[in-house]
Structure formats: structure tokens, C-alpha cells
Structure 1
Amino acid sequence: MKLKISAKELRALGYPESPVIPVAMNVMEKHFKHHTKEEAFDILKAVLQSPKEYATHETLQPIAEKLLPKAPSPFGEGVGGEVSLNKEGIHFNIFGRDEIEEGAMHQMYAASKLPVAVAGALMPDAHHGYGLPIGGVLATENAVIPYGVGVDIGCRMCLSIFDIDVKDLTQREAFFTRELGEATLFGSGAQFQRAEEHEVMDNKLFYEMPLLKNLHGRAWKQLGSSGSGNHFAEFGIIEVPATDATLNVSAGMYVGFLTHSGSRALGANIAQHYTKIAKQKRRLPQEAANLAWLSLDEAEGTEYWLAMNLAGDYASACHHVIHAKIAKQLGRKPMKMVENHHNFAWKEMYDNKEVIVHRKGATPAGKNVLGIIPGSMTAPGFIVKGKGEEASINSASHGAGRKMSRTQAMANITHNALKEELARHNVKLLGGGLDEAPFAYKDIEVVMQHQKALVDVVGKFTPKIVKMCGAETNRTRKNSEP
């Protein structure tokens, strides 16, 4: 059987999203076609680790050449635009090393060598992404990295806790199911026919910045929608084991409403626009190309910072619109609302100086800061209180983290297996595809064990009625209002 290697497998090994991928696939399949995949991976890892040693190799030279950095411009940064990475990266702490794939590790090593890098950390749910790995935390000096924040700016969690008998979720399942279906829309292109009212849409930046002005109409029609992928809205059971002063909810069992989504097309367009500018201004070696940054002293850096914060406010508003609809239909105000971003950048103090902390799929976990770390559609999520651990740059994981890519999940998980897992946990799923099946995710309990030094658990959320986009949803449809 001839050797076949996919681009996804190369990225998982740590190969950058660049021309090296098709070159590596061609070289290996042509010259090493009778090797096993394991043998081929060992060769590829060796070339990735020490490309200089293979620069004159008879067959591996083309791969090595694509991995080696180009000679920097004699004019330096700001004229030629080419930037070299530091030879030695900053130290970064790794939580749950055994749970983290090599691709994410290589991405974090590349980020650690940026000239603007100050400190870093890798969370136990980390996996390969674009730019920073998902689960990567990076502090920089006076610089912001658009792909260090991510495409879905302000992707976040929001939990409303209601003083409702948990038996209602079973006894009135049809009611809660209907309310989930009417509270929000799923699908990457989903828009309401009638826009919601919210003060975020009156932000002056929508009228002052040309990019945002062009996005205003679509953003308004998507306000209160939830997107696709791993975004969800769900009802479940909240268990508060003991009264905690920070959470300020008495010990007991409650009905919880939990949502996960971000800034929709608004954030994606901001990310893509300013990443393009950053790459034009600072051309980095291939393995770090998506980590191009903007200085906050530059006009473009200031613009991105303002636009990023607006996208974060917009994402928050989306959640608040959805939760307000649910509260109205339940006829109850929530006892407590807990929420947090996990794709964002903050100005914070580190080692007695102000830095920009990027949390790409990581939860803020400063001292006594509340957050939510979800599991999967059947695994529990946790309400946590940060311990303010400097070793993690005041951060924790943003979830369980994927252990299968979407393609792998679709190829290896059956509908019957998903159906049986849902039944075993008494979860009703509305929408949701095999790419988001529980088997595609790491064990949340193991992930939580790896970050006991970072957060205290003050509550537990067990999902019962889950709404997601699902493969069957037409993701570009124009939906009517709920």
C-alpha cells in the first residue's frame, strides 16, 4: 500500500500553513512511498526540527528549503518588512503536557521566539490552530497579534442561573426545547429579518471607521445569533456544592442556561483585515507568518485595538440578547450571570510592567475572577474561580479541547455511537453533527485535574437539552425572526 499523507497530518506534526505542506506531501509520497506512515512521520519530524541539517540532502532538500527562514532584508524592519525570530524563545509553562499534540507545541515554540514576546503559557486543552495554538496564552510588549486573538474575536461563554426546580427540565422538556429553538439562530450566514435593538449598534466607531461602517448592517441582522461549529445554547442542571462568596449563590441545584458563541461576521472581517495589514508590515518566517503583529504606537494597531474591543462588546451583546429572551419566556430574572471572553487580548500587569495578554482559546483566571469551562454536549462544564497564578499568566483552559479534527471525527464516529452516548447521559440534542460528538473531545475531568493550581471549581453544569448548528443546517440561509 503506497504512502499517503494529508495536509492535516502535516499540520498536526507542527508544519506551518505554507507552501512547505504540498512540497512535503509530494516528496514523501514520491521518494518514500514504501515507508510506513510512522517511519515517514519520524523523517518529517527530524526535518522540521533541524532543517539546516537537511539543506543539502538528496531527497529532503526541497522540504528543508521551505522551512529555512529567508535572509532578512538589509534594510531591516519597517523598510523591507522582513523580521527574524529570536534564536532562543522565552520560557513558557505547559499545563498537561501529555494531553497536547506536537502541532500545538511547535506553534507555541514559534510564538515564544517573537521579538515582542514577554511571557507565555500553554493550557491543557491546547491544540493546533492558526497563529497561536488554541489554548495558547502570550504576553507581548506594546504589540497586538490579530491571529493571537483569533478570527472569532470575543468568542465567549455566558451562563444564567435560574431558581427553578431541575425536575422541570424533564417534566416540561417540550417547553424548554421550543424556547431554545426560538431564542437564537444557528448557521454561519444566519441573519434575522428584523434587527434587535441594542446600544452596541450605536457605537460611534461603526460610523467613523470605513471597515466597520461597511459591516454595520450585517452585524445588526446577526445580533443575537449563534453561528456554527462548536457554538451552542443549552439548558442543564447547575450544582453549587457550597456557598462561595465570589459566586454568591447558595448551595443547591438550579436550572442553568449556557451559551457559547462570538462576534460572528463582524469579528471575522476585523481579524482578516488587520492580519493582512500586519503581514504586509512584518514578514515573518513561514512557521510564524500568522503571528504578524501591530504595534499600539501605529495607527493600524490602534485601529485594531478599538475594533477588537467593539467586536468583544458586540459578542457580549449577542449573548445578552439571547439570555434576555430566555429570561422573559421563563418569567424569571436570573439569580446570577457568569460570563467571560476566551478569544481576546487585554492590557494587564506582568512582572511590574504593562503587557498585552493574548488568550486564544483560554479563560481569564485572575484572583477571584469567575469563568466557565465547558466540556462537550454530554460532558459537564464547570463554574470556576481564578487563583491568579502567574505561571499561567492568570489563565486557564477554555474547554476540554479537541482530540480529533472535524474531518477525523466525521470519518471515525457513527450516528449510532453518538445516539447511544446521548441516551447514556440523558441528553436531548437539537442539531449538532458528528464533528462535535463528545468522542472528538478530550476528557474534561482530566483537563481540570491539570489545572487545579489555576482555578477552584465553585459549580458544575450538566447539559440536558443542547442546541447546535449541525451538519444538516443550511449555514447560509436567511432566517426569519424567532
Structure 2
Amino acid sequence: MSTIKTFGTVDPRSLAQLERCMEVGDAEFGVLCADHHPGYSQPIGGAIAYEGYVSPSGCGYDIGCGNKAARTDLTRTDLGALGGVEAIMREITRRISFGMGVPAQERSDHPVLDKIRHAEFAPQRKLHQLAASQLGTVGSGNHYVNVMEDEEGRIWVGVHFGSRGFGHKTASGFLALAQGLPFGGRASEGEMDSPPVLFEVGSELGESYVSAMELAGEYAYAGRDVVVGKVLEILGAEAVHEVHNHHNFAWREDHFGRTYWVIRKGCTPARPGQEGFVGGSMGDESVILAGVAGADAEQSLFSTVHGAGRVMSRSQAAGRVRRRKRWICRNRECDRVFDGEGACPDHPDAGLKRVWVEEQIKPGVVDWPAVQARLREQGIVLVGGGADEAPEVYKRLPEVLAAHAGSIRVKHTLRPLGVAMAGRDVQDLYKD
């Protein structure tokens, strides 16, 4: 008989997805964290303990997606000497790449790249060039770089992203293998409510997936280390404390006297004393939390939220758009768009560049200019972002944290000062 522990208000579709995964995989224990919402096969915010399987659909396309936060040796007053928050955020977006397929502005040499070159699962070796080009890039969607202030005025750096194209191609390759196609074949993604893809533990495919997944997770850790390191360099700061965790991954763990593969999809590991960094939306506070002992913690498989949790889809928030190549003025203060090459009449010396531009077909419910104005009033410097990531698209983080009060405690509350995300003209296949 299976046991499901739920937190917060339960979404019926998410619960049905979890139940389906558990039934197919004969899983005894499952969890829905308070930030849950429907995902592909396994719900986001869902954790499942399989005794005999690992699940590539459970880990998802962004293997090793996670968060890293670093408390610096700076305080809020130190930022003035650096030109202020806006200058800092502009420098971050100048030196760090955001978006799909964009190579890193500054290449980074890291030991994980040599591991990829000699990967145990041979097909991953062919992804070395892609991995090298994207190491230290952030992606788009809900991925970000934040500069934050805690309750004592200390400055923190926080980042959220995963294994980029390397992880995406690894995941899609195994989904292709599961469908009888070669690694690199074009696998069918299936429907949102499809049964889970499961590999037997100990099988050749299962062992290969675990090896490849762990390498993708190591690459994700390396990428977050690189990005946080660059932000610290921009700030001229040192990290005095770091919190780092995946929330899309499979862990080999002991629970209730037995050993399982715990698949967390959008869940932060939270064993007693284990710290986690959980972000809110672009306009909300984030937290550093730690797991606490107790029945709730055990029944949750020592899992907690990874964010606030979406309450509306991206298309509902931002509307439907058509994307096509247009020309825009290189002057940052100009928003004019042109059909062909030439010069901007307002800034003839600035030049034009060709970019993907989104043209609204159907309006969304979020008033994006109003959101931007509200963030400015709150003193938050936002570079990039879009209506699909507005604060109203998410639940409130304090509410979802309150639902987990018996299994976690909040150690620090972090107020956003600056938020850097990919802009609306960026599409990203590798996002969470």
C-alpha cells in the first residue's frame, strides 16, 4: 500500500500524476510539496521513492537544476562604491550570458569538462564542445542571478539554473533510448499526463543513466560555481558562507529502514540540519532554510519546496506571441523595431542588430509595464525578465513555507536588490 504525504492546497491533476508514477513504478512513498504544480509525467514539487527504478522523466530535461547562494563579506553600504546596484547588474549581464544556445562570454576551464571528455557513458563525450561553450551560462525562463540583502544588511549572491544543453541532450538521449531509438534520436515527448519513463536499477540502461545523470549534475554544480564566482569578482567580494543544492535529481537514500532511489523533481533536499536556498519570484524575498527532525520531515522524504510554485501558465500570464527576426536599435534607451537594415532615425549612429522579437497575438493577464514600475518602486533593479515570470504568476513564498513548518526552519530572509534574467526576446529549450 502506497503512502503519499501532501503539503498545502492539493492540486488534483498533480496528485493524479504522482499516483500514476507511483503505481507504474510500484513505489511505496510519495510527496507533494506545497509549491507543486503539474509537470511532464511527474509533477513539479513531487518526490517519489522507488526501490527498483530510476526515472529520467522524473529528473526531467534540466538534470541537476538547482540553487546556489553565497553570503559575501560586503554590506549594503559597500555597494555604493561599486556604482550602485544598477551598475552592478548591468556588469553581471555584460559578463554572464543568458538564453538559449548562447556561448559563455568568458570561457571557463573546469575539471568537469575533462570528465565529460572521458565520460563513462560514451555518447556524452560527443557533448564536450557544447558543455564547454555553455559552462557558466544561465539560461532563461525562471533562471536568474540575484543580488540580495539579509536581515542584517549583509549581501548575498543567489543563482538558479541547471545543466544547460549538456543536461538537456543527455536527458533527451535517454528518452530516445527508452523508445528504442539511438541516443540522439528524436524522441516523442509524450503528453503531460503520460506514464513515467523508468529504468530498472542494475540494468545496463539504468546503470548508464545513473552515471550520465551524475555527470550532468556535477556539470550543473560547476556552472553555478562559475557564475557565483564571476559575480563575486564583479563585487570584489569573498564568499564567507555557501549553500548549494540540486532540486531535479535522483538520490540513493535510506528511508524507513530501506534503501531507495528518491526522485525529486522541483524539491529541495532537507535532512535535519541540511541547508537549502529557496528563491521567491523576481519581486519577493528568498530564504535560507534548514531541515528539522520530526514526523513531517520523515514522511516528506526529507524534501521541501524549491520555490513558490506557479499558479498560472506562461501563456496565460504573457499571452500568445509570434516570434520572428526583426531589427532593433542598439541604443539601450530606444525601443523602436524595424523590418530591415538601415539606421534608426532617432539614433543614426547607434546601428541596428537583428534579434528575435515577440509580437503579441493574444494578450496575457499580466500587465508587464505595471510590474516593472512596481519593482522600481520597491527599489528592485530588474534586468531582463518578462510577464511569464512576474510575481503574480507565483504563490507567495511565506505561504508555502508555512505549510512545511514542521519539517524546516527559516534561517535567513533575503530581500532582492537586483535581479538579472534573460529578456523576453530569448527562447530557451533548456530551462526548468
**TM > 0.5 fold call:** yes
The higher relative CO (CA closer than 8 Å, separation ≥ 6) is in 2
Counterpart of 1:408?
316
Using the alignment, how far apart are the partners of 1:273 and 1:265 within structure 2?
Answer: 12
Deviation at 1:175, TM superposition (A): 3.5
Q: Tell me which of 212, 216, 230 is aligned to 1:307.
A: 212
Q: Which has the higher strand share?
A: 2
Confirm whether residue 188 of structure 1 aligns to residue 100 of structure 2.
Answer: yes
Partner of 1:191, secondary structure, is: coil
Counterpart of 2:302?
394
Partner of 1:203, secondary structure, is: helix
Map residues 465-480 of structure 1 onto 2, 5 A cutoff. Answer: 465-473=418-426
* 1:49-92 Cα deviation digits (max 9, x unpaired): xxxxxxxxxxxxxxxxxxxxxxxxxxxxxxxxxxxxxxxx6120
Aligned residue pairs total 371
Partner of 1:320, secondary structure, is: helix
Q: Tell me which of 218, 222, 236 is aligned to 2:130.
A: 218
Counterpart contact for 2:287–2:410, Cα < 8 Å: yes
Q: Tell me which of 148, 155, 159 is aligned to 2:65.
A: 155
% identical equivalent positions: 33
Confirm whether residue 347 of structure 1 aligns to residue 347 of structure 2.
Answer: no
Counterpart contact for 2:99–2:427, Cα < 8 Å: yes
Deviation at 1:173, TM superposition (A): 2.3
Partner of 2:385, secondary structure, is: coil
Counterpart contact for 1:149–1:343, Cα < 8 Å: yes
Counterpart of 1:34?
none
CA separation of 1:192 and 1:205: change in aligned 2, threshold 3 A: closer
Corresponding letter in the other structure for 1:466 = V
Deviates more, 1:290-299 or 1:190-199: 190-199
Map residues 33-432 of structure 1 onto 2, 5 A cutoff. Answer: 90-96=2-8, 98=9, 100-169=10-79, 172-192=84-104, 195-203=107-115, 206-239=118-151, 252-280=152-180, 289-388=194-293, 389-410=297-318, 411-432=364-385
Partner of 1:131, secondary structure, is: coil
Counterpart of 1:451?
404
Counterpart of 2:326?
none
Using the alignment, how far apart are the partners of 2:119 and 2:180 within structure 1?
Answer: 26
Partner of 1:297, secondary structure, is: coil
Counterpart contact for 1:116–1:143, Cα < 8 Å: no
Corresponding letter in the other structure for 1:440 = V
Q: What is the Cα-based RMSD across aligned positions, in Å?
A: 2.1
Counterpart contact for 1:433–1:472, Cα < 8 Å: no
Deviation at 1:461, TM superposition (A): 1.0
Corresponding letter in the other structure for 2:399 = V
Using the alignment, how far apart are the partners of 2:149 and 2:118 within structure 1?
Answer: 39
Counterpart contact for 1:431–1:473, Cα < 8 Å: no
Counterpart contact for 2:25–2:198, Cα < 8 Å: no
Residue ranges of structure 2 left out of the alignment (5+ in a row): 182-189, 319-363
Counterpart contact for 1:402–1:442, Cα < 8 Å: yes
Deviation at 1:116, TM superposition (A): 3.3
Deviation at 1:104, TM superposition (A): 1.1
* 1:124-145 Cα deviation digits (max 9, x unpaired): 0000110210000000013100
* 1:227-273 Cα deviation digits (max 9, x unpaired): 1110000111122xxxxxxxxxxxx3201111000000111111112
Using the alignment, how far apart are the partners of 2:179 and 2:104 within structure 1?
Answer: 35
Using the alignment, how far apart are the partners of 1:373 and 1:193 within structure 2?
Answer: 27
Partner of 2:409, secondary structure, is: strand
Deviation at 1:161, TM superposition (A): 0.6
Using the alignment, how far apart are the partners of 1:178 and 1:225 within structure 2?
Answer: 16
Partner of 1:124, secondary structure, is: strand
The normalised TM-score by structure 1 is: 0.73
Partner of 1:233, secondary structure, is: strand
Partner of 1:347, secondary structure, is: strand
Partner of 1:113, secondary structure, is: helix
CA separation of 1:208 and 1:452: change in aligned 2, threshold 3 A: closer
Using the alignment, how far apart are the partners of 2:129 and 2:159 within structure 1?
Answer: 24
* 1:363-411 Cα deviation digits (max 9, x unpaired): 0001100001111001101100012411100000100000010001111
Counterpart contact for 1:193–1:221, Cα < 8 Å: no
Deviates more, 1:199-208 or 1:332-341: 199-208
Confirm whether residue 436 of structure 1 aligns to residue 360 of structure 2.
Answer: no
Residue ranges of structure 1 left out of the alignment (5+ in a row): 1-88, 240-251, 477-482
CA separation of 1:115 and 1:288: change in aligned 2, threshold 3 A: farther
Using the alignment, how far apart are the partners of 2:280 and 2:128 within structure 1?
Answer: 33
* 1:11-38 Cα deviation digits (max 9, x unpaired): xxxxxxxxxxxxxxxxxxxxxxxxxxxx
Partner of 1:117, secondary structure, is: coil
Corresponding letter in the other structure for 2:384 = G
CA separation of 1:470 and 1:123: change in aligned 2, threshold 3 A: same
Using the alignment, how far apart are the partners of 2:123 and 2:193 within structure 1?
Answer: 26
* 1:177-204 Cα deviation digits (max 9, x unpaired): 2332134211021113663100000116
Partner of 2:233, secondary structure, is: helix
Partner of 2:75, secondary structure, is: coil
Partner of 1:346, secondary structure, is: strand
CA separation of 1:183 and 1:354: change in aligned 2, threshold 3 A: farther
